[in-house]
Amino acid sequence: MSFQKFELHEKILAGVQMLGYQKPTPIQLQAIPLVTEGRDLMGLAQTGTGKTAAFVLPILQRFMEKPLGRIRALIIAPTRELSEQTHEAIKQLGHKTKLRSAAVYGGVSIHNQINRLRGNVEIISACPGRLLDHIERGTIDLSHVEVLVLDEADHMFDMGFLPDVRKIVKHLPKKRQTLLFSATMPDDVKSLAMDLLQNPVTIQIGHTAPVMTVAHRFYPVQMGIKTALLKDILEKTEMESVLVFTRTKSRAKSLAMQLDKSGHKVISLHGNLTQQKRKQALDGFRDGRYEIMVATDIAARGIDVTRISHVINYDMPSTADAYTHRIGRTGRASKTGDAFTFVTGDDLALAHSLKRILGEKLQYHNVAGLTSEIQKSSSKNNSPDMKSRNQRRPFARPAQTRRKPKQRSFGNTNRSSWSHRAPSAA
């Protein structure tokens, strides 16, 4: 089945062709006809399986013949980086059409955005905070919005975002199409989300689980040894591009500084940076100037960097769903990837849950002199592991070679029993 079957305008098909998409992914196959019909929809499909085009293509199609100059579609996402990425995808898929998109997020000049919004765009890709800013200033007209998309929808219903999302929705016409997309949708959030939809269809591709194309490895390690272990892995493993997650902004910053001192091409991405620095970091990581990016969870959702071969959880994520999203930055578009997670005594509860869920796909891995049996720690050690520089002991271990990336089909979905949310790590 090719994209021809959707009867998309030839100018839209030109965008599909430019991006080299040969055939639709399962979520695209199911969602595009329903979105084209105008149905409200909850689209759940694993990370990296093409959810963006599943909503962008029918949105473009819907507005091909309509007058220009009014905002007709609004896409909301949790991070500036994801809003920007979706805006870029719209530009590429719609490059032959006359439809125009704008990204609306904070940290950059609001005046440029105001100029852009004056009758010049049909599609907005926004973060909630700056969008509300525009609403309050009266610098955006959302009264003609026909389609609302919440990307990373479950996250948009988290307490951090929900009040803003509610306010925004009040400014939209009641008669509209609403589309929710995510790789995860916990049951308690699902009922909240359903309130926003009218007579919706739910599409679920596979289970809301980590993608099949990723191999999972846990390293039991003491807090103070993490940096030494990371350096050892970076040295001995063949890697293309590595995304390292830390729990806090300051840990991302100091870990990147340490890796930089060890001669790695590394950059950090976290919320304490200016937007300009955030952009430089992600751009540099995308184009290969930096081999390693150390980031907080702002890089966990939606970000699509094709070259990431390894995700390393230097600090354990807070939930099983957060794990799914983080490791979903690798193994995208049917490529393979590796996910390494450092597990300390504080992380045992979530580690056990993940082990239960992933079963044989998850292996514990030991490195002589660096990993150790973990015991539940009584007090939480929040101080960054920055004292371990000289703690590394020499040991002999054969260098690992990276598995040859295998092409796997998009249809190869995970059938594991990823059905519940694990509790957060203690």
Toward ligand ADP, which CB reaches closer, 13 or 230? 13
Which of ligand ADP, Mg ion, none does 232 bind, CB closer than 5 to 8 A by kind?
none
**Measured from the CB of residue 37, what is the shortest distance to Mg ion in angstroms?**
22
**Measured from the CB of residue 368, what is the shortest distance to ligand ADP in angstroms?**
37
- Site residues, Mg ion (CB under 5 A): 51, 302
Toward Mg ion, which CB reaches closer, 308 or 367? 308
Positive or negative: CA dihedral 248, 253, 257, 263: positive
* Beta-bridge mates of residue 350: none
Which of Mg ion, ligand ADP, none does 206 bind, CB closer than 5 to 8 A by kind?
none
Helix, strand, or coil here: 266? Answer: strand
Q: Which of 292, 318, 202 is nearest to 239 (CA)?
A: 292
**Measured from the CB of residue 206, what is the shortest distance to Mg ion in angstroms?**
15
Q: Are residues 353 and 191 in contact, defined by beta-carbon separation less than 8 angstroms?
A: no
Query: b vs e for 212-234, b when ≥16 Cβ sit within 10 Å of the residue's Cβ?
Result: bbbbbbbbbbbbbbbbbbbbbbb
Which of ligand ADP, Mg ion, none does 345 bind, CB closer than 5 to 8 A by kind?
none
Q: Residues in the chain, how many?
A: 426
Toward ligand ADP, which CB reaches closer, 48 or 58? 48
Toward Mg ion, which CB reaches closer, 225 or 305? 305
Which of Mg ion, ligand ADP, none does 48 bind, CB closer than 5 to 8 A by kind?
ligand ADP
**Measured from the CB of residue 148, what is the shortest distance to ligand ADP in angstroms?**
17
Which of ligand ADP, Mg ion, none does 47 bind, CB closer than 5 to 8 A by kind?
ligand ADP
Cα–Cα distance measured from residue 11 to residue 15, given in angstroms and rounded to the nearest whole number: 7
Q: Which of 208, 113, 90, 210 is nearest to 153 (CA)?
A: 208
Element (H, E) at 255: helix 249-261
Which of ligand ADP, Mg ion, none does 245 bind, CB closer than 5 to 8 A by kind?
none
**Residues 6+ positions from 315 with CB-CB distance below 8 Å:** 245, 246, 247, 248, 251, 342
Which of ligand ADP, Mg ion, none does 306 bind, CB closer than 5 to 8 A by kind?
ligand ADP
Helix, strand, or coil here: 75? Answer: strand
**Measured from the CB of residue 40, what is the shortest distance to ligand ADP in angstroms?**
19
- Site residues, ligand ADP (CB under 6 A): 19, 21, 24-25, 28, 45, 47-53, 304, 306, 332-333
**Measured from the CB of residue 52, what is the shortest distance to Mg ion in angstroms?**
5
Q: What does the DSSP assignment read for 136-154?
A: HHT----TT--EEEEETHH
**Measured from the CB of residue 351, what is the shortest distance to ligand ADP in angstroms?**
25
Q: Are residues 200 and 194 in contact, defined by beta-carbon separation less than 8 angstroms?
A: yes
Toward ligand ADP, which CB reaches closer, 21 or 157? 21
Toward ligand ADP, which CB reaches closer, 49 or 319? 49
